[in-house]
Every structure is written in C-alpha cells, then in structure tokens.
Chains A and B, each alone.
Chain A
C-alpha cells in the first residue's frame, strides 16, 4: 500500500485558482457556445465560407491528439506492463478522458447542428467519411477509457480475488480502447489527409504526423501534469515515480526529434516541389504572415525547447522537463492551428490570375479567431484545468493501492 507523503504544505491558492479560473472559463465557454447556437454561428464565430475551420476545430484536434498521446502513455504502463512507466498510467488515463471531453466540448459547440449527428450518424452513416469514423472511434474510445478507469478504481476497493477479475476486464477494455483511440486519431489525420482540394494536407502523411505528435504530446502532458500535481499539492515523489518521469522525459526528446524530422521534410518538400497550395502554404509559414507562429511557436517552443531540454538534462531534471513539456504543448497547439488554418487561407482560384471579386482575389483569405471562438477555446482549456485539480482531489493523486 502506497500512500502520498506530504512534504510541503499544499499551495492552496494556486489550487483554488485552477478551480475558479478553470471552472469560470468552462462556464463562460459553454454560455458563449450556447449563445452562438441561439444567435447563429455566423454572428459570433470568425469562420467564413472560405475558411470554415477555425480555432475551435484546432482546439478539438489539439486536445484529441493530447488525449490519444495520454492514452498511449497509459497503455504502455498498464497494458504492456512496462514497469518503469506504470506509475504514470493512472493519471494519464484520467487526463486522457478529460482531454477528449474537452475536445468534444469544443467540437460540440463548433458544429452547427450537433444534435443531428446523434440521429444521422446512426441512421445514415457514410462509410467513406473520415469524420464519421473519427467520431465513432473517439466515442467508443472514450467509453472504453471510462470503463477501464472505473473498473481500475473499483478493483482498488475490493478484495484481492475480485480485484484481479476486475483488473483483467479493465485490461481488455484498455486494449480495445487503445486500438480504437489510435484508429480515431489516424482518421483525424485522414480527415485532412484525404482532402485533395488542399494539396498541403493531401496524402497519407497526416495520420503519421498526427500519431507522432500524439506521442510527443502524451509524454509532455504526463510529465507536466504529474509534476504540477506533486508541486501544487506538496507531495513527495517516490523513487519509482521519479524514475518513470525521467524515462518519460527522455521520450519527450525522442518524439520531439521525430516531429522535427517529419516537419522538416514536409516543409522542404512543399517548398521545393512548388506544387500549388503546398508551396504557398509552406511559404506563408516560413517567410509569410505566419512566420512568427512557425519559427517561434512551432519550431522553438514546440520542438527545440523540449528537444534541447531532453538533451541537456538527459530527461532527469523533472521540473525542467515539466516546463519543456508545457512548452511542447503550447507549440503543438500553434502547430495544429497553422496546420489547419493556413492551407485554407490559400485562395481556391489563385492559379487563375483573378482580380475580382475582392474576396476571392486576395493573396490569402483572412481568418482571425473571434472573441466568442476564443472564449469557447478557453472553456475547453478550463475544463482541462478544472478536471485536472478535481482529479487529484477525488482520486488522491492517482496512486494505485496494491
């Protein structure tokens, strides 16, 4: 039986801040989202005919990718019995659920008619649609993750004989959940990868890129949230947990390197190939209106900071790796933003020397997130913050009692 040892007084003010700001943002976001249904999305959201996917789809994709990553981290410890990483599994599973719920919140408030989804995805599903499969797999995955989590909690409260049975059912749920989650994530990649209208997306690359990013996000998130929990609540990290975090820190570096590798070839390929749409997107990123996003957020914060931190500290400096993980998540979010928004801003008829009408003859279609979109994004982020501290309270540091 492991128990948490209090070595510092809990930072109650920060914890309260997470509850208040997180909960407040969540309520504000939901209110804004519901208001936008009532008044009409076209009035409150900044998306347009030409750029129909904006900040909220970015939020959805980002949090869904983080969720998949956390699900993978949890599975490595739980299912594949990698003892080193096992101390991270319980929290990773919990946060994976919270992250996917935040993603669902964002897309639920983004879809114009989410209620029709419940009816027509069942009565008239389109088997060739990635959106359909992604929705189905993520819905199944979240149910299975919750089942796994609940059974795991129950197992801790039962006698050994019953607990073993529950744990094995939880493992099955976990394994199937992991597979559906990865299928969901690859379908999310192919939602973009299948769109031949946007050559920057088109191809099988996006699903590879998304799953690689999911791994980076998963390890970054678990190191950050574990460290944040222990320093906020003033608990002592025991030896196995420290070892787990140090190993996870090395994985952050590994996957940052992988993402750097993928992103570099993507950009080089697009710049050199000069294919319509690919070239224009890459140019807008490296030397255009999105250069700051690209170089500072995507490359420096998203990749170089975690990569260099992992090399310098060899992943061993837990607090440094936690901040590096946060940096990777922020950079990763901007990476999703650029990935989703910029290819849409390349005009459809750009090859045709169009001079009018103005809205189709621009160099880039404009898109700026509206205040409402930003508030809904904050709401989803608030759900993660609130869910995180609530989880630490409810499940007492996600410590498995054996």
Chain B
C-alpha cells in the first residue's frame, strides 16, 4: 500500500510534462524549420519515448490495466489533425436530431502561446467523455442518467428526468443541455440510440471526419486501434481535467 502511495507521489511530480512545457525557443525553432511539434515528439529528439498514459492515470490509481465494460467504448482524438470543418458537428446534429439551441459535440479553437505574442492554432473537439466515474451519474436523483452496465456509455432515460440540472452543473466538460422537446437533459450517447444499437460500428462524428481525428472503438479489445493508441509506448496521451477524478474514456493525442 505504501509502495502504491509512493508511486502516486512520484507520478505527481511530472504529471504535466506535456507539449506546453517545451521551451518556447526550441518550439519556435522547430516550427520555423517547418516541423510540427508532434514530429519532434515522434522523432524523439527532445523527449524520451515514454508513454504518458500511466502518468495521467497513475495519479488517480490503476486504471489502464482493466476495462470493466465489453465493449468498452472509447474515443481517441488526434487534435493536431482537426481542421474545424465541423462536419462532425453537422453529422451529429443530423443523426441525433439535436435542436438548434443545443449541441452534443463542439470544436474549440485554441491559441497556444509560443512566447512574445506568438501562438499556434489548435482545434480541440469536445464531446461527452463517458467517464468511468461520471460525476453526473452520481448526482442524478432519479437515475435518469446512468452508466450503461454493458457498454459503459453514459446514457439518459429521458422520462425520469426531473430537470433539476444538477448533472449539468456536475459535468466538468459542459456536455449536457436541456432539450425542451424531450423535457429532459440531453447529451452525447456515442450514437448508441441512432447507430451503435442498430449494428453500426462508428459514431456519426467519427464517420464524418475527413481528417481521421476521431478514432472510435473498443478499449477492452487489444486489437482495436483505440487500445493500441492509448497503450502505445511512443505516444503521448492525455485526458481533460484529470484532477476531477472523473476518469474519462475520451483521450487526446497528437499525430
């Protein structure tokens, strides 16, 4: 137990060793040379070739060894490939009948500083993280939102929603909105109702993406692309807001 604790302490040390911490001088030099930051990583000239998966999850306890659902749906987002064409958003809206005033997935535009007024652009798609420890599910008074015991998808039972909106406040990712027509909170369900339950293999957004940003699959299957990306030795993988302890199943990476 103490060994685990000390491992945990160690993991806190370098938790944030991401691209943001590259010295800006070097970053700019590489950019000027026409190389991407990802290229730098993959080339391994700057950082050692160590996967950060365990660091990300090591800080909140053993996670990557076991996946409790079958299939354990997950998505890996290759952010540096996203070009904000928003075809994913359109496909999602069409497929899931998302009303005008709501959204289930969105693209954020980030300007990541390089120092001295310089920055580079990155588009970051966001969607429900289908957390293993979903704060929304814990907070719901009537189990109107729940973790599907088979697939791990965080779903809604619309008729049970009393509209207290606690789940909306509890979500660290702003992934829930109130659907007036359904008189219930609505959210991404990895297209379970519209596609997966009908035998399709991909979510609408993953299928619509022209740039291969959204890799969707079964994290419990070692043969799957998502598993291999998340467990690659050479790939930096992270999740959003890990400090909340929500343990997302949507991962971010580059390249």
Contacts and interface: CB of A to CB of B under 8 A. Distances in A.
Interface string B98-116: 0001100010111111000
Contacts of A120: 141-144, 160, 162
B124 interface: yes
A129 B112 contact: no
Contacts of B168: 49, 52
Contacts of A40: 180
A114 B162 CA distance: 6
B159 interface: yes
Interface stretch (A14-22, A74-82, A190-198, A291-299): A190-198
A132 interface: yes
B50 to A, nearest CB: 24
Nearest to B178: A112
B109 A129 contact: no
Given A40-B180, A132-B141, A195 B163 contact: no
Nearest to B172: A197
Chain A facing B: main interface SS: loop
B244 A196 contact: yes
B165 A53 contact: yes
A392 interface: no
A50 B168 CA distance: 8
B135 interface: yes
Contacts of A129: 138-141, 166
Interface residues of A, number: 44
Given A112-B178, A117-B162, A198 B142 contact: no
A4 interface: no
Interface string A105-127: 00000011110110011001110
Given A352-B124, A355-B109, A356-B108, A196 B245 contact: yes
A281 interface: no
A344 B160 contact: no
Given A42-B178, A49-B177, A112-B178, A355 B111 contact: yes
Contacts, number: 139
B117 to A, nearest CB: 13
A355 B101 CA distance: 21
B141 A126 contact: yes
A370 B109 CA distance: 31
B108 A131 contact: no
A195 B180 contact: no
Interface string B140-176: 1111100000000000000111111110111111101
Nearest to B177: A49
Contact of B108 (A47, A121, A198, A349): A349
A130 interface: yes
A199 to B, nearest CB: 8
Counting chain A CB atoms within 10 Å of each CB, the highest count among B140, B159, B165, B178 belongs to: B165
A344 B162 contact: no
A128 interface: yes
B4 interface: no
A191 B138 CA distance: 11
A140 to B, nearest CB: 15
A80 B111 CA distance: 63
29 contacts: A40-B180, A42-B101, A49-B102, A52-B168, A52-B169, A112-B184, A113-B183, A113-B184, A114-B163, A116-B159, A116-B162, A117-B141, A120-B160, A121-B141, A121-B142, A130-B139, A131-B141, A132-B142, A194-B139, A196-B172, A196-B243, A196-B246, A197-B135, A352-B124, A353-B112, A353-B113, A354-B124, A355-B110, A360-B174
Interface of B: 101-102, 106, 108-113, 119, 124, 126, 135, 138-144, 159-166, 168-174, 176-178, 180, 183-184, 241, 243-246
Given A132-B142, A349-B126, 16 more contacts: A41-B163, A49-B102, A49-B168, A49-B174, A116-B161, A120-B144, A121-B162, A124-B160, A129-B139, A196-B244, A197-B170, A348-B174, A351-B241, A353-B111, A354-B110, A356-B109
